[in-house]
Structure 1
Amino acid sequence: MAEALKPLGIELRHFAVLIELVNQGPTMQRDLATATGSDKAGIMRVVDDLERKGLAARKAVPGDRRARAVEITPEGLELFDAAHVAAEPLTERLVAELKPGEPEQLADLLTRFAHPAGVEA
């Protein structure tokens, strides 16, 4: 996946944050850290990178002058879509040996693992 993302100018850690922003909408940095398994300093570096590239922006949170939520930009959404296209050949290779129906089962299991029912992100 790292090789598929390299021509787009991002790393897997950037893509992980973009995935969360697409799935969750504007998200607090601490929540991005939790969702991606990063620490506070690491997520700050990733968000800084995404901001420098114009792929995400920090926005004020209404009602909390100190808090900032991170949201994906239109450019970030374009890159997110391009990353999915770049990953398609990899995905096809990964599931090539599975039997009919198993790729969908795997996707369902991985989704349930990443987002357990009843657990807030």
Structure 2
Amino acid sequence: MTADVPDRTTASRATDRPGDESPFALGLLLRRAHWRAAAVMGEVLRPLGIELRHFAVLIVLVNRGPTVQRDLATATGSDKAGIMRVVDDLERKGLAVRKNVPGDRRVRAVEITPQGLELFDAAHVAAEPLAARFAAELGPGESEKLTELLTRLAYPAADEA
């Protein structure tokens, strides 16, 4: 039975140190990079009066148009209660509205408002200098290459079939 257990003296232990060769290394590095990116995005969004969770919903609404709350929850990795709170916040701020879905009185679609689109555009303008600062450690062309690689990880070819 002990043959199934890796030898602790040779197995790599997961750390988040640069150069870690454990099977968890990539995930840990992505998590750390996400924390840094989320902090930068939060810095951009805070003066606009929203948080990253609000902006994530606005992104879905801009990309897809009116979207039912169930699909918003799936697209943003939220649960039903969490997405309801976010949509409530967006409605209260005048950035989104809920509308009845024709043919189904129980379902409501969320739609971005003109004010929501203005804020969305303003966030992108405000993000430019901070995004450049975030990627400052990368050399020429590396930001584009990293984006390409992360896109392939986030949207595997098998998912497109």
The percent identity for this pair of structures is 81
Change (3 A) 1:57 1:23: same
Task: Quote the residue 2:133 is aligned against.
Answer: 93
The match for 1:14 is: 54
- The amino acid of 1:88's aligned partner reads E
Deviation digits for residues 7-65 of structure 1 (CA, Å, limit 9, x no counterpart): 10101110111011111111111111111111111100000000011100111112212
Give every structure 1 segment of 4 or more consecutive aligned residues whose post-TM-superposition deviation is greater than 3 Å: 109-120
Cα distance, 1:112 vs structure 2: 4.1
Higher relative contact order (CA 8 A, sep 6+): 1
Q: Which runs of 5+ in 1 are unaligned?
A: none
What is the Cα-based RMSD across aligned positions, in Å?
1.8
TM-score (norm: length of structure 2): 0.68
SS in 1 for 2:97: strand
Residue 107 of structure 1: CA displacement?
2.4
1:2 counterpart (39, 42, 57): 42
Amino acid at match of 1:28: V
- Does residue 32 in structure 1 map to residue 80 in structure 2? no
CA separation in 1, counterparts of 2:145 and 2:44?
24
> Counterparts of 2:100 and 2:137 in 1: how far apart (Å)?
47
Cα gap change, 1:116 to 1:33, in 2 (>3 Å): farther
Mapped partners of 2:137, 2:146: distance in 1: 12
Name the CA distance, whole Å, in 2 between partners of 1:114 and 1:76.
27
Partner of 2:121: 81
Q: Using the alignment, how far apart are the partners of 1:5 and 1:84 within structure 2?
A: 10
Figure out how many residues of one structure are paired with residues of the other and give that number: 120
**For 1:17, what is the secondary structure of its paired residue?**
helix
Question: Within 5 Å, which residues of 2 pair with 1:48-59?
Answer: 48-59=88-99
Cα distance in 2, alignment partners of residues 118 and 67 from structure 1 = 31
Task: Note the residue ranges of structure 2 that are not aligned, 5 or more in a row.
Answer: 1-40
Match of 1:63 in 2: 103
Which of 1 and 2 has greater Rg?
2
Tell me what 1:104 maps to: 144
Distance 1:88 1:64 in 2: 41
- C-alpha distance in structure 2 between counterparts of 1:46 and 1:16, whole Å: 10
Deviation (angstroms), 1:117: 4.8
